[in-house]
Amino acid sequence: VQLQAYGGGLVQPGGYLRLSCAASGTIFSINTMSWYRQAPGEERELVARVTKGGSTTYADSVKGRFTITSYVAKNVYLEMNSLKPEDTAVYYCNAAIRRYSNSYGYSDYWGQGTLVTVSS
């Protein structure tokens, strides 16, 4: 299983970016897809999560500004509006995946990270 995350870049404060994550490989079921971020010197934190049923969870710091889409065809997107310098971080895609119908439970998989820099 591979998660490919892309869409990061340099954007001015107040700007917009859209991150994309695509899951590939042998996948029977995806339970959740999430975006985490890690700023320099900080711990990795959950930014947003969407479940198989479409329920979403957001970090308080991004509520009202970021939107995670429901995953269709094993792709999930994070739309980031009104970006702030404190949103600067490496963003990681994460998925809880069950590879086979007879697999026990779900396992975590991570993408390689994409850098988002918010600066004027």
- Summarize pLDDT for 6-44 with one digit per residue, the tens: 999 999 999 999 999 999 999 999 999 999 999 999 999
Taking residues 85-108, report their average pLDDT: 93
Nearest to 89 by CA among 118, 109, 49, 120: 118
Position 13 scores a pLDDT of 98
Position 55 scores a pLDDT of 95
Taking residues 68-84, report their average pLDDT: 91
91-113 burial: b if 16+ Cβ within 10 Å, else e: bbbbbbbbeeeeeeebeebebeb
Taking residues 68-81, report their average pLDDT: 90
The DSSP symbol for 104 reads -
Over residues 39-74, the pLDDT tens digits come to 999 999 999 999 999 999 999 999 999 999 977 779
